[in-house]
Amino acid sequence: MEISNLQKARAAYQPKLPKALQGSVKAVEGAPTQSVGNQAEIKELFPNTYGMPIITFEAGEPVKLEPFNVGIILSGGQAPGGHNVISGLYDGVKSLNKDSKLYGFLMGPGGLVDHKYIEFTDAKIDEYRNTGGFDIIGSGRTKLEEVDQFESGIKILRELGIKALVIIGGDDSNTNACVLAEYYAAKKYGVQVIGCPKTIDGDLKNDQIETSFGFDTACKTYSELIGNIQRDCNSARKYWHFIKLMGRSASHIALECALQCQPNICLISEEVEAKAMSLDEVVTYIAKAVADRAADGNNFGTVLIPEGIIEFIPAIKKLIAELNDVLATPEAQKLNNADEQIAYVKSHIAADNLKVFESLPADVAAQLALDRDPHGNVQVSLIETEKLLSRMVAAKLAEWKKEGKYNGKFSAQHHFFGYEGRCAAPSNYDADYCYSLGYNASRLIANGKTGYMSIIKNTTAPAAEWIAGGVPITMMMNLEKRNGKMKPVIRKALVELDGAPFKFFASKRAEWAKQTAYVYPGPIQYWGPTEVCDQATKTLQLEQAK
Domain boundaries defined on the chain? 64-214+427-474
pLDDT of residue 438: 98
Report in angstroms the alpha-carbon separations of 528 from 274, 378, 538: 42, 43, 19
Q: Which CATH class is domain 64-214+427-474?
A: alpha beta
pLDDT of residue 461: 95
Interatomic CA distance for residues 523 and 222, integer angstroms: 10
pLDDT of residue 275: 97
pLDDT of residue 407: 94
Distant-in-sequence, close-in-space partners of 113: CB < 8 Å, separation ≥ 6: 142, 144, 149, 152, 153
Q: Are 372 and 379 in contact (CB under 8 A)?
A: yes
135 classed as catalytic:
no
Strands 452-457, 192-197: parallel, antiparallel or unpaired by DSSP?
Answer: parallel
Report in angstroms the alpha-carbon separations of 156 from 100, 146, 166, 173, 215: 17, 16, 15, 20, 33
Interatomic CA distance for residues 418 and 268, integer angstroms: 17
Amino acid residing at 212: S
pLDDT of residue 335: 83
Report in angstroms the alpha-carbon separations of 407 from 90, 237, 402, 511, 525: 63, 16, 9, 22, 43
pLDDT of residue 473: 98
Q: Are 176 and 109 in contact (CB under 8 A)?
A: yes
pLDDT of residue 376: 65
Report in angstroms the alpha-carbon separations of 160 from 95, 432, 538: 20, 30, 44
Interatomic CA distance for residues 139 and 231, integer angstroms: 36
Percent of the chain at pLDDT > 90 equals 86
Q: Three-state SS for 156? A: helix
How far is residue 513 CA from its own chain's centroid? Answer: 28
Q: Three-state SS for 213? A: strand
> Which portions of the chain are predicted below pLDDT 50?
none
Distant-in-sequence, close-in-space partners of 134: CB < 8 Å, separation ≥ 6: 74, 78, 82, 83, 423
Which of 203, 196, 231 lies closest to 218, judged by CA?
203
Residue of 172, 201, 432, 534 marked catalytic? 201
pLDDT of residue 380: 67
How many CA atoms, within 13 angstroms, populate the side-chain half-sphere of residue 213?
39
Phi and psi based region of residue 451 (left: phi greater than 0; alpha: psi -120 to 50; beta: remaining): left
Which of 229, 218, 310, 239 lies closest to 269, judged by CA?
310
pLDDT of residue 374: 65
